Amino acid sequence: MNVTLVQGDITEQEVDAVVNAANSSLMGGGGVDGAIHRRGGPEILAECRRLRASHYGKGLPTGQAVATTAGRLPARWVIHTVGPVYSRSEDRSESLASCYRESLRVADTLKARSVALPAISTGIYGWPMDDAARIALEAVRQAGTAVEDVRFVLFDAAAYAVFEARLPG
Ligand code: ADP
C-alpha cells in the first residue's frame, strides 16, 4: 500500500472512492460533506435518503462507513463515515481510527484500488490536527486492505505540513 499526501480539494480527486466526513444524518452538512454534495449533485443525497430509510433509521453510527454513488464527481463511489466530535474529557480516538478502518473495509468490498481520505473530525468536529494525523496514519497502516493508493487530501498548507511531519520516510 502506498500512502501519499496531497494538498487540495477532495472532490477533484481522480480515484476510485472518496471518503466523506459525513454526519450521522447522511443528509449533508458543511466542510467536506457540503463540497461533496454540491459538486457530486443530487444523486448522492438521493442514495443517502434510501440508505436512511432501508438500513439506518437512526442515522449512521459514529465510526461506521457506507458507500453510495459519487454522482458527478470524478470518483466512482463516495464512502460516507461519521467521525467523533472531539472531546477533552473522553478519549474517542478508537472511534476515529475506526472511521479509517471501516472506510477501507468498505473500499475493499467495492474492489476500489485508490481511495482519497480527508482529515476526518478536524473541521467542524474540532479534533486537533496533529493528534488526528497520528491516529489517521496509524489506522491506515494497520488496516490490512487491498487498496493500493491511499491518498490523504489536506485542505490547506498547515494541515499538509502536519501530516507530512508524521509520514515516515
Ligand atoms: P468534520 O465534521 O469531520 O470535522 P469537516 O468537513 O468539517 O469534517 O472537516 C474535516 C477536514 O476537511 C478539515 O480539516 C477541513 O479543513 C477539511 N476540508 C474542508 N473542505 C474540504 C475539501 N473540499 N477537501 C478536502 N478537505 C476539506
Q: Where are the domains of the chain?
A: 2-166
**150, 3 Cβ separation under 8 angstroms:** yes
The Cα 54–Cα 113 span in angstroms is 28
The Cα 77–Cα 109 span in angstroms is 12
- Name the residue with the closest Cα to ligand 1, atom 23: 9
| Binding pocket residue ranges, ligand 1, CB within 6 Å | 9-11, 21, 30-33, 35, 83, 118-125, 153, 155, 159
When pLDDT is averaged across residues 145-153 and rounded to a whole number, the result is 98
Tell the CATH superfamily of the 2-166 domain. Answer: Leucine Aminopeptidase, subunit E, domain 1 (3.40.220.10)
Question: To the nearest whole number, what is the mean pLDDT of the chain?
Answer: 97
> Would you put residue 15 in left (φ > 0), alpha (ψ -120 to 50) or beta?
beta
Percent of all residues in the chain with a pLDDT value above 90, rounded to a whole number? 99
Which pLDDT band holds residue 169 (cuts at 50, 70, 90)? low
Distance between start and end Cα atoms, the chain:
14
When pLDDT is averaged across residues 110-128 and rounded to a whole number, the result is 98
For ligand 1, the distance from its centroid to the CA atom of residue 129, given in whole angstroms, is: 11
**130, 158 Cβ separation under 8 angstroms:** no
Query: Which of 129, 155, 162 is the best mutation target for the ligand 1 pocket, counting ligand atoms within 8 Å of the beta carbon and taking the most?
Result: 155
**What distance separates the 2 farthest-apart alpha carbons in the chain?**
45
- pTM of this prediction? 0.98
Amino acid, res. 124: I
The catalytic residues are: 33
Which grid cell is 1?
Answer: 500500500
pLDDT tens track for 11-33: 999 999 999 999 999 999 999 99
When pLDDT is averaged across residues 142-157 and rounded to a whole number, the result is 97
Predicted-complex ipTM score: 0.99
Dihedral of the alpha carbons of 141, 145, 146, 149, in degrees to the nearest 10? -40
